[in-house]
Structure 1
Amino acid sequence: MVNVSTEYEKVAEPTRTQIMRATVAGTLGTTLEYYDYVIYGLATALIFNQLFYSDLPPAIGFIAGFATYAVGFIIRPVGGLILGAIGDRIGRKVIMVLTIVLMGAATFAIGLLPTYEQVGVIAPLLLIVCRMAQGFATGAELASASSLMVETAPRKHRGFVGSFVSFGTNSGNLLATVVWLLISMLPEEQLMSWGWRLPFLGSIVLTFLGLWIRKGVKESHIFESVAERQRKVSMGEVYRNFFKSGWRSFLVCFGLRIGEGGTSAIYQVFLVGYIATLPNQSQSMGATALLISSLFGIVAIPLIGILTDKVGRRRVFIVLAAIQLLFAFPGVMMIESGSTVAIIVAFLIASGVCVQGMYATESAYMVEMFGLKHRLTGVTASKELGGLTGAGIAPLVVAALLAAVGHWWVIAAYIAVLAAIGLVSAIISPEVKARDLTVDEDAM
C-alpha cells in the first residue's frame, strides 16, 4: 500500500457552518448515548433487579442487574472494532448515522419488554439482547463522533471542539437524571408497573432528531483527502496496520480510558444506588447529586477544552487524574457519612470536575494519538476495551467486593487504583496537541 501523507495546511479547510454542524451532530449523538446508558444504569441500580430478577435474593439480584449492565460493555469492543475498521475505509459519517439508529432502536425496545413476573426467564434474556444491541452500536459512537469533530476543527481549537463530545455525554447524564427524578415522583406501584418504561420510550425523540442532523453533516475533510486510498484497503489490512504500528498509542489510550471510565461508572452508576441504602437518605439522593455535578459540567467542560488547547492534553489529564487519586478515600468517606452536603460536594469534585474533565480531554487526546490509516480503529479499540476493563465491570466488581468485605474502603481503594492507571498512562504519553492529523504515523 502506498504511504500517502498530505500536508495539513494543503487540505481544504471546512467552513464555519460545516464545523458547527459536525460539532452539533457529534454532540447530539453522544447525548443520546449517555442518556441511554445513564437511564439504564439508574434503572439497574433501582428497578431492574426487582422486575427482571425478582426470583433471586435482593443482594444477588442487585449483582445480577450490574452483570447485565456489564454485558453492554463486553459487546462494545466487538462493535467498535468492526465498525471502526469500516469507518477507516469508508468514512466517519456512515458510522455516525448507523450507530444512532441501532442505539435508539435498542433503547426504545427496552421500554416495551415484559417483566419476569409476566414471562419468566425470557424477560432477562430479552433485556440482555437489547443491552447487547446497545453496546454494539455504542462501540463506535464516541470514536466516530470525536474523530469527525476533531478532524474537522481548526488545529488550535481541536481540544475545545473535541470537548463537546464530553458536553454531549454530560447533557445525556443531565437529561437522564432529570427524567428519572421526575418519574421517581410517581407512586411506587405506578413507577414499577409502567412509569419506568417512559424514559426508554422517550429516547425515540432524540434518535430521530440526531438522525436528521447527522444525515446532513459533511465527511471530515481530513479523511476525504485520503478517501480514495482508504476505500481500496481491506478491513484486514486496517487491522494489520493497527496491530503493527498502533499498539503503543493504544496502550496509553487504553490506560487513560480505564482511569476516566472506571471512576465514572463507580460514581454515576454504583454509588447512585449505594446512596439509596444509606440511613436517612432517599432513593433519589444519588440521582440529585449526579444532576448537580452534571449542571456544573456545562460550564466546566468547554473551559477544560480551552485549557487543553493552551497548556496541552497531557498536563491537564495528569492534574485531573492526580486529584481523583488523592480524593478517592475522602470522597467515599464523605458519601458514607450520609450528609446531603457532603455527598453533593463529593460528586462535584469526583464526577463534575475529575471525570468530566478527563473525558473532555480524552476526545482530542486519543484522536491525535493515532495516524490517519487506522485512526478510528485505534480510538474505538482504546475507548471500548478500556471502557470494558474500567467502566464495564467496575459496578459489578465493587458490588462483589462490598458484599465480601462489608466496608466502604474497598470502594475507595478501587477508585484509587483506576485513577492511578490513568495517571501513569498520561505521564508516559507524549504531548499531542500540535500534531498533524493528516500523517499516517502514530504519536508513539
Structure 2
Amino acid sequence: MNIRNKQRVPLYAGADGRELKRVLASSYIGSMIEYYDFVLYAAASGLIFNKLFFADLPPAAATLAAFATLAVGFVVRPVGAVIFGYFGDRLGRKSVLVITMSMMGAATALMGLLPTQEQIGVFAPVLLILLRVVQGLSVGGEWGGAALMAFEHAHPKRRGFAASFATAGQPSGALVAGVVLAIFALMPDDQFLSWGWRVPFALSGVLVIFGVWIRLRVSESPLFLEEKDRQSRSVEKPKAPIIEVLRQPRTLVLSFVALLAPFLSFTLSGAFGITYGATHGLSTSNVLFVSSAGSLVAIFAELGFAALSDNIGRRPVMIGGVVVGVASVYPFFALLQTGSTSGALLAFSLINGLAIGATFGPLAAFMGERFQTSSRFTGLSLGYQIAATLGGGFGPLIFTALIVNNTSDVTPIVWVVAGVSVLSVIALALSTDNEVEAPTAVTTGPAVTTDPAVIEPVE
C-alpha cells in the first residue's frame, strides 16, 4: 500500500451530483443525435448527393456543387446562433435545445424522402438546399446550448471535463452516422443509390424522439436562473444579448479566429477526408468505417484533453493541438494515398486523436469562459459558428479547388492550414478568461481535501 495526496474536487456544484449526471447525459446524447444528422449529410454530400442531385454536371463539378450545399448549412449557422442565442439567453437553455433538436430531426428525415434530380429536375437540389438551411439554423443553436447546460451545472474547477461531453457528442454522432451509412454502402451500388442511402436519414426521426425525451427531463441551468433573478430585481432594462456581445468585439474576434485551425482539422477528418480516401482506392464502405474508427478515438481524446485543461489551462492544450494539426496534414494525405485500409485507419486516428482531441476537448469551456452569463449563449454560439462556417463550411470547397488539377500534390493545402494555424495560435495566446463563479444558490458540494494526506491503496 502506498500513500498519496489526492485533491478531491467534485464534478458538480451542489450537494448532489445526480442532476449533473442527467445533464451530462442529455448534453452528450442530444449533441450526438444532432451531429448524427449533420455529419450524415457531410458524408453523403461527396459520396451520394453529387450523383443523385447534380447528375447533369461533370464529376468534379458535381462534387464541388455538393460541397457547396454543405457550405450553405454552415453559412446559416451564425444566423441560427444569433436567433437561438437570443432565446437561450432570455427564455432559457433547455427550451431552445428541444426546439433545435426537433428542427434538425425533421429536416434530416425529410431528406431521406426527397426525389432525385432525375425524377423532378432542378427542384431536387432546391429542396435539398432548403432542408440544409433548416439543419444549419438548428445546429447554430444546438451546440452552444448543450455545452452551456453542462458548463453551468458543473463545479468551476471541473468545467472543462463536464462541458466536453457536449463536444464529445459530435464525434459520437459522426461515428454512428459513418457506421450506419457504411453498412448500407455494402449493398450493390444500384440499390444503395436507389434507396439504401435513404434509411440512415429516415432513422433520424426515431433518434430525435428519444433525444427530446432526454432533454425534457433535465433542469434549467442554475447560472441562467440566477441571472434571470438578478435582472428581475434590476431597474435597468437588459440589453439584447447580441448587443452585449458586439460591444466586446475583441473577445468575439479572438474567439472565432482561435477556432479556425481546429475546424480545418475537423474538415480534413470529415467530408473532405472521406471523399479524398474514396478517390484514392478505398471503397465507400471502407472509408466510412475507418473514419468512424477515427471518431471513436476522438471521443476519448476529447474527454481526456478536456480533463487535462482543468489542470493546466485551456490555451496550452489547445495550442498544442493546433501545432500537431499542422504537423499531421502531410502524413494524413500520404497515408490515404496508399489506398490501404490500415493506412487510412492510422490517418484518421492520428488527426482525430491528437489534433481534434486536443482542440475540441477544452473548446466548450474555453468559449464559456469568454462571455458573461447574460449573453453567454449568444457569444459562445456565434464565435463557434463563425469559425465553423469559415473553416468547416468552406474548407472542403477550398481544399477541392486547390488540388483539382493534381490530387496527389497537397502542398497548397498544407500552406493554407499552416497559415490559418498561426492566426489561431496568436488568437489563443491573446485571449483572456472571464471569471465564472459557481451559482450562489447552491453550495460547492463536498469539501475539497487539500490536507492531510488521503491514504488510498494504489495497485
The TM-score with structure 1 as length reference comes to 0.91
What are structure 1's unaligned runs of at least 5 residues? 1-10, 440-444
Q: State the Cα deviation string for residues 127-181 of structure 1 (Å, max 9, x = none).
A: 0000000001110100011111100011121111111112211210110111011
Q: Report whether the alignment pairs 1:427 with 2:429.
A: yes
Alignment correspondent of 2:22: 21
Q: Distance in 1 between matches of 2:351 and 2:383?
A: 23
Alignment correspondent of 1:254: 256
Alignment correspondent of 1:80: 81
Residues 368 and 437 in structure 1, CA contact (< 8 A), matched pair in contact too = no
Alignment correspondent of 1:6: none
Q: Displacement, 1:301?
A: 2.5
Q: State the Cα deviation string for residues 184-215 of structure 1 (Å, max 9, x = none).
A: 11111110110010010001121011100111
Secondary structure in structure 1 of the residue aligned to 2:197: helix
Residues 287 and 418 of structure 1: CA distance in aligned 2, closer, same or farther (over 3 Å) = farther
Q: State the Cα deviation string for residues 370-403 of structure 1 (Å, max 9, x = none).
A: 1112111100110111111110110011111211
Q: Displacement, 1:236?
A: 5.8
Residues 85 and 235 in structure 1, CA contact (< 8 A), matched pair in contact too = no
Q: Displacement, 1:337?
A: 3.4
Q: How many positions carry a matched residue from both structures?
A: 426
Q: Distance in 2 between matches of 1:32 and 1:156?
A: 28
Q: Displacement, 1:111?
A: 0.5
Q: Report whether the alignment pairs 1:238 with 2:241.
A: yes
| More off after superposition, 419-428 vs 224-233 | 224-233
Alignment correspondent of 2:4: none
Q: State the Cα deviation string for residues 212-250 of structure 1 (Å, max 9, x = none).
A: 011111111111112145579878632222111x32221
Alignment correspondent of 2:5: none
Q: Distance in 1 between matches of 2:52 and 2:238?
A: 42
Secondary structure in structure 2 of the residue aligned to 1:284: helix
Alignment correspondent of 1:8: none
Task: Output aligned runs, 1:181-220, within 5 Å.
Answer: 181-220=182-221
Amino acid at match of 2:51: Q
Alignment correspondent of 1:401: 402
Alignment correspondent of 2:343: 342
Amino acid at match of 1:183: F
Alignment correspondent of 2:136: 135
Q: Distance in 1 between matches of 2:162 and 2:207?
A: 21
Alignment correspondent of 1:382: 383
Task: Output aligned runs, 1:295-334, within 5 Å.
Answer: 295-334=296-335
Q: Distance in 2 between matches of 1:318 and 1:364?
A: 15
Q: Distance in 2 between matches of 1:14 and 1:261?
A: 38
What are structure 2's unaligned runs of at least 5 residues? 1-11, 441-459
% identical aligned pairs: 35
Q: Displacement, 1:312?
A: 1.0
Secondary structure in structure 2 of the residue aligned to 1:391: helix
Q: Displacement, 1:53?
A: 0.5
Secondary structure in structure 2 of the residue aligned to 1:281: coil
Alignment correspondent of 1:120: 121
Alignment correspondent of 1:442: none
Q: State the Cα deviation string for residues 250-272 of structure 1 (Å, max 9, x = none).
A: 12220222121222012211111
The alignment's C-alpha RMSD in Å is 2.1
| More off after superposition, 263-272 vs 409-418 | 409-418
Task: Output aligned runs, 1:253-272, within 5 Å.
Answer: 253-272=255-274
Q: Distance in 2 between matches of 1:22 and 1:79?
A: 23
Q: Distance in 2 between matches of 1:120 and 1:267?
A: 32
Residues 334 and 346 in structure 1, CA contact (< 8 A), matched pair in contact too = yes
Q: State the Cα deviation string for residues 298-338 of structure 1 (Å, max 9, x = none).
A: 43222212111111111110111111122222332332333
| More off after superposition, 130-139 vs 290-299 | 290-299
Q: Give 4+ residue runs of structure 1 displaced > 4 Å after superposition.
A: 229-236
Q: Distance in 2 between matches of 1:171 and 1:12?
A: 26
Residues 371 and 437 in structure 1, CA contact (< 8 A), matched pair in contact too = no
The TM-score with structure 2 as length reference comes to 0.88
Q: Distance in 1 between matches of 2:83 and 2:15?
A: 28
Alignment correspondent of 1:4: none
Alignment correspondent of 2:55: 54
Q: Distance in 2 between matches of 1:83 and 1:191?
A: 36
Q: Distance in 1 between matches of 2:95 and 2:213?
A: 13
Residues 72 and 371 of structure 1: CA distance in aligned 2, closer, same or farther (over 3 Å) = same
Amino acid at match of 1:272: I
Amino acid at match of 2:246: F
Residues 96 and 145 in structure 1, CA contact (< 8 A), matched pair in contact too = yes
Amino acid at match of 1:349: L
Structure richer in helix, relative to its length: 1
Q: Displacement, 1:37?
A: 1.7
Secondary structure in structure 2 of the residue aligned to 1:219: coil
Alignment correspondent of 1:3: none
Alignment correspondent of 2:456: none
Q: Distance in 2 between matches of 1:264 and 1:12?
A: 32
Amino acid at match of 1:243: L
Task: Output aligned runs, 1:214-229, within 5 Å.
Answer: 214-229=215-230
| More off after superposition, 210-219 vs 411-420 | 411-420
